[in-house]
Amino acid sequence: MFDFENNYSEWRENKLTHKVSQASLKPVLIADPSSLSDAELALLKQHCGQNNFALYRFSDSNISEKSIIATMARQFSMYELDQNLCADNDSISSLEVMDLGRAQGYIPYTSKALNWHTDGYYNPLSQHIRSFLLHCVRNAAQGGENMLINHELIYIQLYDTAPSLITALCQPDALTIPANIENGVEVRSAQSGPVFYRDPSTNTLQMRYTARSRSIQWKQDKDLLRAVDIIEELLADSEYVLHYTLQPGEGLVCNNILHGRSAFTNGNIPQQQRLMYRVRSYNRLFSQIK
Ligand SMILES: [Fe+2]
């Protein structure tokens, strides 16, 4: 296994050779999500090892019980789940348009576009989201396309432009997210951290990023600001950006790669009200055998 720092050129070559293209994007078929076959697991593991993500499709698209999604997630090593502010008691969030309650102030619970980000970029590094799963229960009438890019490919493009850009992004105070205050009460403290870093528990390259420009602070460092501009350009126009609209019974599982979502329009019938289940975990995919 090559390392992104110690064997950069071999690691780079390996990543570029095995990167998936838009034309070759294909979900792995899953017959029984409660108990995946060795072949299904091996294929998903291979996709995640090469591209940091995999798409899957249930043979029976009507299967959508949360308990089954949770059982499937454990087979991907997603054991420690993140209980975020809007998750249900089972740590699975139901992402749908919410007109009432706490979730309504958060863009994932609206039909608006979601700009590029990694999940939990506002978490302390001790609670970094190493993987997440999105399962489509219902689709919108229009829109709701996901855009994806393996962050390792962004690392490669920046490193090949100038290694100093990577050094700048690895600074521990590169990106600061101010505290989250709800009704005068601090529900999360300010978080400073790097954009790229080596995860100490898995020794792999992780990314922490948001494309939002309000309520975040970039360190005012020349190389860093240049790197941020280049990331923006890459995300706007890169052959490595993939697009996929999940259909009912399909899902995405990934090592918290960079992603976003286009705006969508729900239809007038219940079957066209977009609903996604989201599971977030502190575990990297296929990192543990239990
Ligand atoms: Fe997200």
User: What is the mean pLDDT of the segment spanning 52-74?
Assistant: 96
Whole-structure pTM value: 0.93
Distance 134 CA to ligand 1 centre (A): 9
64-84 pLDDT, tens digit per residue, is 999 999 999 999 999 999 886
Element at 49 (helix H, strand E): helix 38-51
Distance 118 CA to ligand 1 centre (A): 6
Q: What is the mean pLDDT of the chain?
A: 93
* Burial class, 161, CB count within 10 angstroms (exposed 0-12 / middle 13-18 / buried 19+): middle
- Residue 29's nearest CA partner among 44, 7, 49 is 44
Is the predicted pLDDT of residue 290 greater than 60, yes or no?
A: no
Distance 114 CA to ligand 1 centre (A): 8
167-212 pLDDT, tens digit per residue, is 999 999 999 998 888 888 888 888 999 999 999 989 999 999 999 9
Percent of the chain scoring above 90 in pLDDT: 80
Enter the tokens of residue 138: 């219902």
**What does 105-118 look like in DSSP terms, one character per residue?**
GSGGGSSS-EEEE-
Domains of the chain: 20-281 (3.60.130.10)
205-263 pLDDT, tens digit per residue, is 999 999 998 889 999 999 999 999 999 999 998 889 999 999 999 999 999 999 999 99
pLDDT score recorded for residue 86 = 60
Distance 136 CA to ligand 1 centre (A): 14
pLDDT score recorded for residue 228 = 97
Distance 189 CA to ligand 1 centre (A): 20
136-158 pLDDT, tens digit per residue, is 999 999 999 999 999 999 999 99
Is the predicted pLDDT of residue 63 greater than 90, yes or no?
A: yes
Q: Give how far Cα 113 sits from Cα of 159, 235, 259, Å.
A: 30, 15, 11
Is the predicted pLDDT of residue 25 greater than 80, yes or no?
A: yes
Distance 9 CA to ligand 1 centre (A): 30
- Residue 227's nearest CA partner among 155, 170, 165, 171 is 165
User: What is the mean pLDDT of the segment spanning 3-18?
Assistant: 96
Distance 121 CA to ligand 1 centre (A): 10
Distance 26 CA to ligand 1 centre (A): 21
